[in-house]
Amino acid sequence: MQLLLASSSPYRRQQLAQLGLPFDWASPDIDETPYPDESVDACVQRLSEQKARALAAQYPQHWIIGSDQACSLNGEVVSKPGNHEQARQQLLASSGQRICFSTGVALWHAGEITSAVEHVEVQFRPLSAEEIEDYLMLEQPYDCAGSFKVEGLGIHLFDALHGRDINSLIGLPLIRLCDLMRAAGLNPLGLAAHYRKTTRLA
């Protein structure tokens, strides 16, 4: 089995490596602009599928994984901050609030595609201006939607997490991806065990 991650994100590559499977990766070239009046869930599911399909012609033998994520606060999409001031404003707005992450994942192979959306809600505790500055100085999460890294020091900012899979916050819902693989007739755990055995024998 050949596996391809349709993403240039180092975070998603690190996540997929957790499954213990060999994989290639490539960056899909698609327009990620939301459609007018498109819901957050519909957008991330559509873009996940488009990312997987975008590389199908180049990698026709691969099982291709696409993923896309958006987060929202009070119904408004929260983007990647890009700089310190934007990150500070995002965290000030999130203080004491609950934000929702919607993460789409798609699996393409031989013209067939399946996809799903996972949700995780993050309840922020009330944050002081000093705490926000300390966090941003330490982690500088300017390339992360919501201005935090849950896998890092961002955990200091939260009161609670609500959802099936914390991996969804980082960008790739691994539990749902394994669901999609099993539904497609793959056994990801068995494949990982086989790969481990063959690499030891090589």
Q: What is the rounded CA–CA span in Å between residue 179 and residue 156? A: 31
190's tokens:
């068995």
CB 3 within 8 A of CB 24: yes
Phi, psi of 124 (to 5 degrees): -80, 140
The Cβ of residue 78 has, within 10 Å, a number of other Cβ atoms equal to 19
Bridge pairing between strands 24-26 and 3-6: parallel
Active-site residue, from 29, 68, 134, 159: 68
Q: What is the rounded CA–CA span in Å between residue 100 and residue 163? A: 10
Report CA torsion sign: 80, 86, 87, 91. Answer: negative
CB 158 within 8 A of CB 122: yes
Bridge pairing between strands 24-26 and 63-73: unpaired
DSSP secondary structure letter of residue 79? -
Residue 68 among the catalytic residues? yes
Active site residues: 68
